[in-house]
Amino acid sequence: MGQTPDISTETTDIVIVGFGAAGTTAAITAREAGAEVIALDRGNGGGATAISGGIIYAGGGTSVQRSAGVSDTPAQMLEYLRLEVGATTDPETLKRFVDGSPEMIDWLTKHGVPFDSSLCPYKTSYPNNRYYLYFSGSENAGAFRAHTPPVQRGHRAKGRGTSGKKIYAPLANSAQQLGTQFRPHTTVTKLLQDDDGRVTGVEAMTMAQAPRSVQRRYAALTAISVKPGVYYPPLRKVMDRRIAKLEKRYATPIRIMARRGVIVCAGGFFANPQWRERYAPEFTHGLPLGTSGDDGSGIALAESVGAVTDHMDDVSVWRFITPPSAFISSLVVDDHGQRVLDESRYGAALGQAMVKNHGGKGWMLVDATLMSQARAQLFTQTLWFQRAQAAALMFAGAKRGQTLEEAARKAGIDPIGLAATVKAHNDAIDSGTADPVGKPAELRHRIDTAPFTLMDISVKPNVLYPTPMLTLGGVKVAQDTGAVLDSDGAPIPGLYGAGRTALGICSRSYVSGLSISDCVFAGRRAGAAAAAVTQPN
């Protein structure tokens, strides 16, 4: 319905909107099943995956775990994820995700993603270039290890620095070698439907007909917008304005019909300030983790044909306190001097607790012994950007005092509340009793040696110590096929969703690697379901 006859039209089996981890894996799966695929991306491809840390959360006895000597079972992984992600995902889907985890690593390896079994010997938010298998979630925290043993499940793709490109590039290459037609610099503007409501294709604006010099300039501006633009939003805004000018002058309309289906996997919406204000107004001071394409446009496309959303107010807020690993033994307190939570929890749990329960306020308290350990670890445990962030915390703006009261007053924290918190913490260590907020015994350290330092880790705009955030909600999908659902819970014919455009495994709670793993799981699911559709006569 509503098609414009003067637009050039082509036809394929499956159209994929967004070519990151979900899009590439959907394309590979569909091509392996024999379907024709055209994949579209408004940028250069890669999405948030290509600029991420490149972590795949996997377990249950993967080949990488076995090579590292790590013992894990599907039952252990399932129990941990049940506690972590709650009831967002139905039990059968979560079990399929867990049971298929070892095969997923083998599948990714087959398609060129490099892994390594070097085991990180300390707890960190992200390992340096010596280690590629680590505790990437809250496995070590007291609330979880009380139910299931802590196991390393963070499979970092092997590559220097943040290695997300080592996931995206091989998958994109494999998809195209299998015959996927990839069309970058193409923005989908509309989903097409027939008279019965079936999604039959897309309309889009593409730069494919622009002069080669313009296409090269467009690609370069897009690359800058993505990264370093992700770290410096004003630069991204300048690049995006220039991109918009090129689009206005050179973009031309196209229509692509899909015989079997359209898969929308175009990211989340944290790059859309209006949507953030509407759905998650508490999360206004974060750094959008992703590209300008994470503006909710994929979700809006699905909504335009009847899709419904959920968990749009769930945002992952990354407030990491490690490395250095010594800081796990710190105390994180609010402005009343009260503990925020077990400091061995994953950084997104800390950020969530600070925003939801403490007005975004938080300070990390260490004594002289912990600070000395942290300084010694500064160059041995960190990548360059972690080193810069840790140094900013330790040396720029930290408040120190020879007494807890002096440090508290300098930081603007209630000194009486802080003293009571430290006493309860130290007394629990001295008496051999449980930590007041559940931190495991071997991760505790008595806070008693002057000088005392309070480092401000509050969630607020800070170029040196930003708070990355990503949205977790999206359109509802059938959990056996990835088909997008309408308000009655019925599948919208011909439309599938995956990645952060759709609800998934991590739509309630996030740990490092779970989003990309979910993209792979959901992308493969949608690709298989769309390819299995019987073509109409």
Cα dihedral 387, 393, 394, 395 sign: positive
DSSP sequence for 190-232: EEEE-TTS-EEEEEEEESTTS-HHHHHHHHHHHHHHHTTTTT-
Nearest to 97 by CA among 80, 110, 119: 80
Give the pLDDT confidence score for residue 536 in this predicted structure: 59
Give the pLDDT confidence score for residue 5 in this predicted structure: 52
Nearest to 294 by CA among 42, 79, 535, 490: 42
How far is CA 502 from each of CA 99, 111, 308, rounded to the nearest angstrom? 22, 24, 10
pTM: 0.95
How far is CA 3 from each of CA 6, 8, 516, 522, rounded to the nearest angstrom? 9, 11, 35, 30
Give the pLDDT confidence score for residue 2 in this predicted structure: 47
User: Going residue by residue through the chain (537 aa), what tens digit of pLDDT does each one get?
Assistant: 445 557 899 999 999 999 999 999 999 999 999 999 999 999 999 999 999 999 999 999 999 999 999 999 999 999 999 999 987 789 999 999 999 999 999 999 999 999 999 999 999 999 999 999 999 999 999 999 999 999 999 999 999 999 999 999 999 999 999 999 999 999 999 999 999 999 999 999 999 999 999 999 999 999 999 988 888 889 999 999 999 999 999 999 999 999 999 999 999 999 999 999 999 998 888 888 899 999 999 999 999 999 999 999 999 999 999 999 999 999 999 999 999 999 999 999 999 999 999 999 999 999 999 999 999 999 999 999 999 999 999 988 799 999 999 999 999 999 999 999 999 999 999 999 999 999 999 999 999 999 999 999 999 888 788 899 999 999 999 999 999 999 999 999 999 999 999 999 999 889 999 999 999 999 999 999 999 998 654
Contact at 8 Å (CB) between 145 and 208? no
Give the pLDDT confidence score for residue 443 in this predicted structure: 96
Contacts 24+ apart (CB under 8 A), 250-253: 250/207, 250/209, 250/210, 250/211, 250/214, 251/187, 251/205, 251/206, 251/207, 251/210, 252/205, 252/206, 252/208, 252/209, 253/4, 253/7, 253/8, 253/203, 253/204, 253/205, 253/206
Give the pLDDT confidence score for residue 225 in this predicted structure: 95
Contact at 8 Å (CB) between 286 and 347? no
The DSSP element (H or E) to which 12 belongs, if any, is strand 8-17
Give the pLDDT confidence score for residue 1 in this predicted structure: 45
Which residues have C-beta within 8 Å of that of residue 163, sequence separation ≥ 6? 53, 54, 156, 157
Parallel, antiparallel or unpaired: strands 252-264 and 491-497: parallel
